[in-house]
Amino acid sequence: MDNLSLFISIPAAVAFFIPIASHRFKWFPDVSASVTTFILLLLSLMTLNHETVYRMGNWPASYGIVFVLDGFSCMMLIIVNLICFLAALFSVDYIEKFYTSKLRYYSLLLLVVTGMNGTILTGDIFNLFIFLEVALIASYTLVGFGCSSRNLEASFKYLAINLLASYFILLAIALLYGKFASLNMAVLSQLMKVNPVDNIMVFAFVLLFVGFGIKAAMVPFHGWVADAYTSAPAPVSAILAGGIIKALGIYVLMRFVYNIFGMNYLISTIFIYAGAMSIVVGVLMALGQWNFKRLLAYHSISQMGYIVLAFGIGTPLAILGGIFHILNHSLFKPLLFLNAGSVEYETGKRNLNNMGSLSKKMPVTAVSSLIASFSISGIPPFSGFWSKFLIIVAAIQADKPVFALWAVIGSILTLASFSKIQRYVFFGKGKYFKDEVISEVKEVPYLMRVSMIVLAIFCSFAGFLLLGGLNGIFGPAVNALAGGTDLYITRILGR
């Protein structure tokens, strides 16, 4: 798989083709979106262990746009396309029931995929900004897709905060371009090594840091998360939590920090403290929530905190833990959002107090959400345990046992809030529960079940990836980051 531009051209083309074709064929949006995302998933699996640099139009790296495929971007591609495929499958029945315009929905969904794939692959800083905006503009619309006043308010909040972030990023790009006269990330990195650090570089770095920090929902930049996740359709929330927040936030941030600017003590300390804050603020806010999806949204902040903490510690073991946690969070959090979507699909309720006793009526949803809850709370042997364990070990090894304890406390609070979900939704009864709510309830349609079952299987067995995947998946990903700036420069510029 050398032609990396396919990851961008295929979804973009289909996205624009859907509105044209679906006037003739009613089935076209459903089928085309699922098939496209499935093809993308297969393509991304083909990129495994196939590190390469693709030059658009064969221009040399410093002039033209390059697409870089290394271990880290390969893993992110697989994650993003897997989640988008499963979300597209889930959407077939879900969107039918709650929303009207399928063709717009799927076009926008594929544009989000385009943007995310582009952001992951590109090696050009301005190109990065373009893809970022493609994904974000499509997602603004998707968040407000229900068009109720609440949805629009959430969408506006999301829009305003993320536009601010985008301005920061654009300003930083302008500053860097003004100083170094290049937009290629590897070239920038090389020039920064040669030139002494000055205030423009520092300012540009802080702007980038804050800009991507906002998109990664780091505390104190997490204001947009709860509303956006809550009001988006469930599969879109899944993509937001499993894809956008990582591809556009954490992934790019880590690229900049590790591969372009280079890690140092101050950045590491800031990451550690910001991560620790995120863990606890997110989980404490989640404990007080009664809205199913809002509770999950706050947990995204908390789990991103673990990832930021791990990358802050910065040893290879910690990076492995962080990358593995990115993967795991992309498995269990979308699954939980899909569970919330299924519960809403059947009962029409989002408030935990209005639900109850669904474990017998919806066995697939109940068991998969149980698995996801165990996984996110770090109960062995489910997937979340392994990454959290690695992070804890890394924290102790790096002589920061307090943060290991902190992570454990966060994990217990996570367990507490997911036990709450299990209690009110599946095993016990909510305060305002009425029997007629569940009298008609049955298990959700097959396609929705398939998405949940696939994710649940991954959640149960992802731990085994550590045994066999160390060389295949995680090893290259860790190397890509731990190699620092030198490896990245060599990979792209060849010297």
Partner 1 sequence: MNIIYYLIGLPIAAGLACLIIPERARVLIWGIAFDVCFILFSAFLFFFSRPPDPANGMFVWDALANLTLLGAGFFSLIVCVYSYKMIVESAGRYYGYLLITLGATIGAVASNNLILMSVFWGILAITLYLMINLGGSDAAYPAKKTFIMVGGSDSFLILGIAIIWVLTGSLNITEIRIQIDSWLAASAFLCFVCASFAKAGGMPLHTWIPEISEKAPVSVMACLPASLDKLLGIYLLARVCLNLFSYHESLWFLLRLLGSITIVAAVFLALIQHNMKKLLAYHAVSQVGYMIVGIASGTPVGIAGGLFHMLNHAIYKCCLFLGAGNVEKQAGSTELDNLGGLGRVLPVTFTCFLFASLAISGIPPFNGFFSKWMIYQGLVESGKSTDQSWILWIVMAMVGSGLTLASFMKIIHATFLGHVSSNLKKRIFEPHWTALFSVIVLAALCLVFGIFYYRIPLKLMIAPISQGINIQNVSGMFLPLAFIVCGIILGIILYFVLKPRSIRIAPVFVGGETPAEGMKVSGTDFYNPIRSARFFKTMYRASENKSTDIYDVFKSIASYFTEGLRVIHTGILGTYLTWILFGLMIFLYLFVKW
Residues forming the site for partner 1 (CB under 8 A): 156-157, 160-161, 164, 168, 199, 202-203, 205-207, 209-210, 213-214, 220-221, 223-224, 226-227, 266, 270, 281, 284-285, 287-288, 356-357, 374, 377-382, 385, 388-389, 392-393, 396-397, 401, 404-405, 408, 411-413, 415-416, 419-420, 422-424, 427-429
Closest-CA residue to 235 (of 352, 141, 329, 336): 336
Which H or E element spans position 53? strand 52-55
**End-to-end CA, the chain:** 24
Question: Of 81 and 368, which CB lies nearer to partner 1 in the complex structure?
Answer: 368
Question: Of 62 and 422, which CB lies nearer to partner 1 in the complex structure?
Answer: 422
Inter-residue contact 320 to 478 (CB < 8 Å)? yes
What are the tokens at 342? Answer: 């299924």
Question: Of 365 and 377, which CB lies nearer to partner 1 in the complex structure?
Answer: 377
Q: How far is the CB of 95 from partner 1 (least distance, A)?
A: 27
Q: How far is the CB of 380 from partner 1 (least distance, A)?
A: 3
Question: Of 15 and 304, which CB lies nearer to partner 1 in the complex structure?
Answer: 304
Distance between CA atoms of residues 491 and 483, nearest Å: 11
Q: Please, what is the angle between helix 383-397 and helix 292-313, to 10°?
A: 40
Distance between CA atoms of residues 306 and 252, nearest Å: 17
Number of H helices, E strands in the chain: 22, 2
Question: Of 100 and 419, which CB lies nearer to partner 1 in the complex structure?
Answer: 419
Which H or E element spans position 264? none
Q: Which residue has the tokens 């009110």?
A: 424
Q: How far is the CB of 160 from partner 1 (least distance, A)?
A: 6
Which H or E element spans position 66? strand 66-69
Question: Of 42 and 412, which CB lies nearer to partner 1 in the complex structure?
Answer: 412
Other C-beta atoms closer than 10 Å to the C-beta of 113 total 34
CA–CA–CA angle 146, 151, 337 (5° rounding): 80
Q: How far is the CB of 29 from partner 1 (least distance, A)?
A: 33
Distance between CA atoms of residues 233 and 89, nearest Å: 14
Q: How far is the CB of 363 from partner 1 (least distance, A)?
A: 11
Question: Of 399 and 440, which CB lies nearer to partner 1 in the complex structure?
Answer: 399
Q: How far is the CB of 168 from partner 1 (least distance, A)?
A: 8
Question: Of 181 and 197, which CB lies nearer to partner 1 in the complex structure?
Answer: 197
**Where are the alpha helices (H) located in 22-70, listed in sequence order?**
28-46
Q: How far is the CB of 410 from partner 1 (least distance, A)?
A: 9
Q: How far is the CB of 425 from partner 1 (least distance, A)?
A: 10
Q: Please, what is the angle between helix 292-313 and helix 401-421, to 10°?
A: 160
